[in-house]
Amino acid sequence: MNNKGFTAIGAGVLVLAALLAVGATSIPGEAGYAGAGPAALPWAVAASMALLGILLIVTARRATSPLVPSPEASPHWRAMAWVSAGLLLNALLLERLGFIPSCALLFALAARGFRLGANGRPSLLTSARDVGIGALISAPVFWSFTRQLGVSLPSLITAGWI
Amino acid sequence: MDTLNALLGGFATAATPVNLMWALAGCLVGTAVGVLPGIGPALAVAMLLPLTTQVEPTASMIMFAGIYYGGMYGGSTTSILLNTPGETASMVTALEGNRMAKHGRAGAALATAAIGSFVAGTIATVMLTLFAPWLAGVALKFGPPEYFSLMVLAFITVSAVLGSSVLRGMVALCLGLAIGLIGIDEISGQPRYTLGVPELVDRIEVTLVAVGLFAVGEALYFALYEGRDAPTRNRMSSLYMTKAEWRRSWPAWLRGTFIGFPFGTVPAGGTEIPTFLSYALEKKLSKHRGEFGTAGAIEGVAGPEAANNATAAGVLVPLMTLGIPTSTTAAVLLSAFQNYGITTGPQLFQTSSTLVWALIASLYIGNLMLLVLNLPLVGLWVKLLLIPRHWLYAGILVFATVGVYGMRQSSFDLLLLFGIGLLGVVMRRFDFPTGPVIVGMILGPMAEAQFRNAMSIGEGRLTVFIERPLSAAVLALCVAVVALPLWMRRRRARSGGEEMAATA
């Protein structure tokens, strides 16, 4: 059983197909004389996904060797956790802290994760410096997008410079 | 003659100082993202899509075109100098380019790649100029059944031909189609799969999915698996090409161009097939076959690199004349047109002729700019490879935030972005192609509309798709594209089995 991952993905695709089918039942609208209404494509996609899910599971169970080579290195979950934390915190804090502080935090947390992933041992000082670099990168981006291009991004103070 | 006049008009628009600045900005960004590992032109255009709400269409399309062409130039620099294959488009260039670089001829490889890109890009743009208006004229006669069939062909080729597995490509395509279903149905106005979330009623933005899969997914995958292997770099050398190298390069450029352009124009998407074909052809024709795979043969860089750029130009033909994207970048470009409410298709040459011709003219200008940017200034771009990767990827995530948040000002989108990033990691780990997701989500709703219109014409009969000769022919081609490789594999397996039996 080298292909547990593919079996799991196949199962996931089947679940998705079921969800799509459930959703399709609640799409109102008449097919009319065209014979194809708003629910036609959802049903078609749900059916194809069900078929593909089954095929994925069958291929995975039949294969005697791994379908795709696994990466040489073992996964570095701690590194990914730091990067994920950066992204999620950014999503939650962006509108409260404003663009520059929130993105500086994202930059530092993500950089910490990437350093860990490269087997580095980032100290607290390194991360503090990364916050500064993150701010140096975010600030010009923020100003050029909000001031010159007129794209609105959240800011900490109403004047809109930070 | 009309074409020439229109093109001259295009040059007049594209050569204004402001538009030249946009073209230069695009070429700079494009070369940079091409050089930087982990990001490409599709991602760069996707991240800059928020600009479409502020900048006028001609300017931003000129910039996006610069990014598109620039990415192709920059990609070859990385694949020659770094010992890790960069984008798929330059994988073949890396085969010989790397060998040459290891033997101290990095400069010659870079020069033949840049000049070849220019030659191919320019010739292919000329072909685009001549061919696109003609095809647009033909396409005016197409009805919904023809469009639907062509879109099915694009779906099939993008998902089945490109990846390593038809099954995985199809799964990716269906995923894209499913994402494309979310939101208000354009024909009936019915909400689908919105779960009452306002962000979902408005549809999921292409930017979000592209940035999630390409930037966030790539970054998370890098943290998880790739941080520990440091890429090794090859030394630069003089860009000077000897007379013999010129003599060996130029036929390869021309052959590459004429292989690449047609592959771009048919909905067969992607640059893998033409670049590999060009590589195989050069290897076969070369008088220096011994250098292939050993010291590095210059033809093996010149041909595929020209094919690569010619394909990129060819892809613009179906995009502009039929509104059908056949590569990921083309799909993102199409969504830029959609943001402006511009319908790409045969009418484009009539309704937005100023824009189209300015865009085409800017391709000529961009090519020239890129040659200057990439040949004498290549040393500057190489410096980009010195950025530590933990900062590079962290910076990419910051830009991803700008691109996604700037589009709709919604924190919900940032959470969704992370979710799609996780999906990207799984897809990358299990070798599911990501391109079909993007093409599926953009082309899906368009194909659905054409299907339902065609069914209305056919009064509910599916036979409408086979009663019209062109539509029937395209559908037959779809079947052939799926069935032929399977049949050939089976035949090969059988003959292989017989050989085994004979030797046993």
Q: Which of B48, B56, B398 is the mutation pick for testing A, counting most A CBs within 10 A?
A: B398
Q: Which of residues 109-168 of B touch A (CB under 8 A)?
A: 165, 167
For residue B456, the chain A residue with the least C-alpha distance is: A34
Average pLDDT per consecutive 10 residues, chain A (162 residues; last block may be shorter): 82 94 80 71 92 92 81 85 94 88 93 89 88 91 79 68 60
Most confident of A45-54, B204-213, B397-406: A45-54
Q: Which of B155, B397, B437 is the mutation pick for testing A, counting most A CBs within 10 A?
A: B397
Residue B504's pLDDT is: 40
What residues have CB less than 8 Å from A36, skipping those under 6 apart? Answer: B451, B452, B455, B460
pLDDT in tens, B289-310: 888 878 888 988 999 999 989 9
CB contact under 8 A, B418 and A84: yes
Q: Which of B194, B391, B415 is the mutation pick for testing A, counting most A CBs within 10 A?
A: B391
Tell whether B188 lies on the interface with A, counting CB pairs under 8 A: yes
Q: Is 90 exceeded by the pLDDT of residue B116?
A: yes
Give me A52's structure tokens: 């593909």
For residue A139, the chain B residue with the least C-alpha distance is: B398
Nearest to B393 among A36, A68, A110 (CB): A110
pLDDT in tens, B476-499: 888 887 777 777 777 777 665 554
Q: Is 60 exceeded by the pLDDT of residue B146?
A: yes
- Give A11→chain B minimum CA distance, Å: 12
Over residues B23-52, the mean pLDDT reads 87
Nearest to A38 among B53, B192, B393 (CB): B192
Which residues of chain A are within 8 Å of residue B393 when distances are taken between CB atoms? 110, 114
pLDDT in tens, B324-339: 888 888 889 998 998 8
One-letter-per-residue 3-state SS of B211-250: HHHHHHHHHHHHHHHHCCCCCCECCCCCCCCCHHHHHHHH
pLDDT in tens, B371-398: 998 888 888 888 888 888 889 899 999 9
Confidence of residue B253 (pLDDT cuts 50, 70, 90): very high
Which residues of chain A are within 8 Å of residue B181 when distances are taken between CB atoms? 20, 41-42, 45
Threshold 0.90, pTM exceeds:
no
Helix intervals (H) in chain A: 4-25, 40-62, 77-97, 99-117, 124-143
Q: Which pairs from B374-379 meet CB under 8 Å and 24+ separation? A: B374/B31, B374/B73, B374/B74, B374/B77, B374/B114, B374/B117, B375/B110, B375/B111, B375/B114, B375/B115, B375/B239, B378/B77, B378/B110, B378/B114, B378/B236, B378/B239, B379/B236
- The full DSSP string for B336-361 is HHHHTTPPPSTTHHHHTHHHHHHHHH
d(CA B308, CA B72): 7
Nearest to A118 among B50, B227, B394 (CB): B227
Residue B17's pLDDT is: 92
Nearest to B391 among A28, A38, A111 (CB): A111
CB contact under 8 A, A149 and B223: no
pLDDT in tens, B419-434: 999 999 999 889 888 8
Q: Is 80 exceeded by the pLDDT of residue B69?
A: yes
Which residues of chain A are within 8 Å of residue B178 when distances are taken between CB atoms? 16, 20, 45, 49
Q: Cβ(B173)–Cβ(B436) under 8 Å?
A: yes
Confidence of residue B503 (pLDDT cuts 50, 70, 90): very low
pLDDT in tens, B405-414: 888 888 889 9
CB contact under 8 A, A91 and B389: no
Residue B502's pLDDT is: 47
Residue B331 burial by Cβ neighbours in a 10 Å radius (0-12, 13-18, 19+): buried
Closest by CA position to A109, among listed A93, A87, A140: A87
Q: What are the beta bridge partners of residue B183?
A: B192
Residue B345's pLDDT is: 84
Closest by CA position to B49, among listed B41, B172, B323, B69: B41
Mean pLDDT across chain B, nearest whole number?
A: 85
Q: Is 50 exceeded by the pLDDT of residue B208?
A: yes
Residue A162 burial by Cβ neighbours in a 10 Å radius (0-12, 13-18, 19+): middle
Over residues B119-134, the mean pLDDT reads 92
Residue A157's pLDDT is: 63
Q: Is 70 exceeded by the pLDDT of residue B269?
A: no
Residue B500's pLDDT is: 47
Give me A44's structure tokens: 């078609």
Residue B418's pLDDT is: 95
Q: Is 50 exceeded by the pLDDT of residue B36?
A: yes
Closest by CA position to B396, among listed B220, B219, B226, B212: B219
Give me B243's structure tokens: 């007379």
CB contact under 8 A, A106 and B430: no
Q: Which of B224, B416, B429 is the mutation pick for testing A, counting most A CBs within 10 A?
A: B224
d(CA B344, CA B295): 46
